């Protein structure tokens, strides 16, 4: 269990926000002046991380006189969304459930790309010695989740599928690193884990899965979010960003061993965990079209009906159309 906590602490050790810079990235002194694109990144194996680590976006945008600035890492989508709202970054990444939550107010942010999730890289885990065998066994127990994010969503969805009242389970609202510590020390009975935390718990934390996201009908996905004024001023730039993300996803699928080495170096994962991460399905991000909007609106309705959102988010008012 010490190994689990140590691994995750290293993976998120740099999670304090770095300086954002006060100037708007889209402001230019004159036509043709350089533009700075500020990307808020999370510690994870998504295509945005691959683009950053391989330097492909800088090369692609150099011809447009665009300078790329990487800001982060952020521990989760919520603080990255705050940075978007504060005009401290221009683009970031998050889960669709967390992103929808950020659209309920009047935030000047929009979705421009969507990455379907196969549901193989997240779920609910318990310690191997636990007598919890199914989701139904969670009644009366405590589960670590990140409030309003993927963990919270997954647990609610899994309980619904199992016919267990959401109120029958106590939630411990913790950050991923604190969840790892609480799980390792036996302070919670289960953990609704995601991203690199899910395979790390399984490999390094002596844990097992009682419900994988694909088994309880998770509608969660990865979305790419942009500050709306930046998108309005730089529409062509988003096309280049999306194409680079798509190429990064393809690279990861075609070079799994090399991708695993990236995750060992960047995310401080053990080789076994990194190999597992690189073998998860990693779909290419796509523009937010009607199919993606239907999925987002279905999730939006479910979040409201499950009382995870106070009211529906006006999703269609927060979508930027990027040509395929």
What one-character DSSP code corresponds to residue 18? P
Q: What mean pLDDT is predicted for residues 248-253?
A: 95
| Cα–Cα separations (whole angstroms), residue 185 to 29, 125, 176, 200, 261 | 55, 14, 14, 15, 30
Helices 176-184, 197-204: crossing angle, 10 deg rounding: 20
Containing H/E element for 222? strand 222-227
What one-character DSSP code corresponds to residue 215? G
Contact present, 80 and 20 (Cβ < 8 Å): no
Look at 26-30, 37-41, 254-258, 306-310 and tell me which has the smallest mean pLDDT: 26-30
- Token couple for 224: 């790419």
Containing H/E element for 185? none
- Nearest CA to 90 among 20, 17, 33? 20
* Per-residue pLDDT at 36: 95
| Cα–Cα separations (whole angstroms), residue 101 to 15, 31, 116 | 22, 36, 18
Q: Where are the domains of the chain?
A: 2-116+221-318, 123-215
Q: Alpha-carbon distance 257 to 8, whole Å?
A: 22
Q: Alpha-carbon distance 227 to 89, whole Å?
A: 8
Q: What kind of fold does domain 123-215 have according to CATH?
A: D-Maltodextrin-Binding Protein; domain 2 (3.40.190)
Containing H/E element for 208? strand 207-212
Look up the CATH number of domain 2-116+221-318.
Answer: 3.40.190.10
Q: Do domains 2-116+221-318 and 123-215 have the same CATH topology?
A: yes
Mean pLDDT of the chain: 88
Per-residue burial over 270-300, b if 16 or more Cβ lie within 10 Å, else e, is beebbbbbbebebbbbbbbeeebbebbeebb
- Nearest CA to 91 among 38, 24, 42? 38
Look at 25-34, 47-56, 145-154, 300-309 and tell me which has the smallest mean pLDDT: 25-34
Residue 116 sits at φ, ψ, to 5 deg, of: -60, 145
Question: Judging by DSSP bridges, how do beta strands 123-127 and 207-212 pair with one another?
Answer: antiparallel
Q: What is the pLDDT of residues 112-170, one digit of tens each?
A: 999 998 888 899 999 999 999 999 999 999 999 988 788 998 999 999 999 999 999 99
Which ranges of 87-184 does DSSP label H, i.e. alpha helix?
Answer: 96-102, 150-162, 176-184
Question: Judging by DSSP bridges, how do beta strands 123-127 and 190-193 pair with one another?
Answer: antiparallel
Q: What is the pLDDT of residues 48-90, one digit of tens each?
A: 999 999 999 999 999 889 999 999 999 888 899 999 999 999 9
Q: Alpha-carbon distance 89 to 109, whole Å?
A: 11
23, pLDDT greater than 80: no
* pTM recorded for the entire structure: 0.81
Cβ-based burial of 305 (10 A; exposed 0-12, middle 13-18, buried ≥19) = exposed
139 CA to centre of own chain = 28
185, pLDDT greater than 90: yes
* Per-residue pLDDT at 76: 84
* Per-residue pLDDT at 3: 43
Contact present, 134 and 210 (Cβ < 8 Å): yes
- Nearest CA to 52 among 70, 27, 34? 70
248, pLDDT greater than 50: yes
pLDDT range class, residue 32, cuts 50, 70, 90: low
Q: Alpha-carbon distance 18 to 37, whole Å?
A: 16
């Amino acid at each position: 269990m010490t190994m689990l906590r140590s691994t995750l602490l290293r993976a998120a050790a740099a999670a304090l926000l770095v300086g954002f810079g006060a100037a708007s990235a889209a402001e230019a002194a004159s036509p043709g002046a350089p533009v700075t694109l500020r990307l808020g990144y999370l510690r994870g194996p998504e295509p945005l991380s691959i683009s950053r680590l391989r330097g492909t976006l800088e090369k692609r945008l150099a011809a447009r006189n665009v300078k790329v600035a990487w800001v982060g890492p952020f521990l989760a989508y919520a603080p990255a969304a705050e940075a978007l709202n504060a005009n401290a970054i221009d683009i970031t990444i998050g889960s669709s459930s967390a992103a929808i939550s950020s659209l309920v107010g009047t935030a000047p942010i929009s979705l421009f790309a969507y990455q379907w999730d196969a549901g193989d890289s997240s779920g609910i885990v318990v310690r191997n010695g636990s007598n919890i065998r199914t989701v139904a066994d969670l009644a009366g127990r405590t589960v670590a989740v990140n409030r309003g994010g993927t963990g919270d969503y997954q647990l609610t969805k899994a309980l619904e599928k199992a016919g267990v009242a959401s109120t029958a389970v106590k939630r411990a609202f913790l950050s991923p690193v604190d969840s790892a510590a609480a799980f390792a020390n036996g302070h919670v009975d289960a953990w609704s884990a995601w991203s690199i935390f899910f395979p790390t718990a399984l490999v390094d934390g002596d844990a097992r899965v009682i419900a994988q996201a694909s088994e309880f009908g998770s509608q969660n996905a990865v979305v790419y979010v942009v500050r709306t004024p930046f998108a309005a001023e730089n529409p062509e730039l988003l096309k280049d960003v999306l194409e680079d993300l798509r190429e990064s996803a393809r690279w990861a699928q075609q070079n799994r061993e090399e991708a695993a080495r990236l995750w060992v170096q960047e995310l401080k994962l053990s080789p076994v965990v990194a190999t597992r991460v690189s073998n998860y399905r990693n779909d290419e991000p796509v523009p937010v079209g009607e199919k993606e909007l239907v999925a987002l609106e279905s999730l939006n309705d479910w979040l409201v009906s499950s009382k995870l959102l106070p009211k529906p988010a006006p999703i269609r008012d927060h979508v930027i159309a990027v040509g395929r």
